[in-house]
Amino acid sequence: TYRSQKRRKFMLKRDELTCAICGQVRLATDLQVDHVIPLAEGGPDTIENCQLACLECHSRKTSEEARRGRSG
């Protein structure tokens, strides 16, 4: 959506193409928007609750969140 594209563009500039989890600078195409506190765990869908994560870190974090959801 337009809103998510605008958010992503803002975050790429704000976070200087850096993964918030591993700290590596990446290409824009290798970064995804991640909710610090997942929406499924009650986190807000706000820019303050969003960070950039590289594909590897985002995948790992999402898997950990899914395991938490199944066990708790």
Read off the pLDDT of residues 54-71 as tens digits, 9 standing for 90 and up.
Answer: 999 999 999 999 888 766
d(CA 57, CA 69): 18
d(CA 28, CA 54): 9
Read off the pLDDT of residues 25-63 as tens digits, 9 standing for 90 and up.
Answer: 999 999 999 999 999 899 999 999 999 999 999 999 999
Entry pTM: 0.88
Q: 2-71: which CATH architecture?
A: Orthogonal Bundle (1.10)
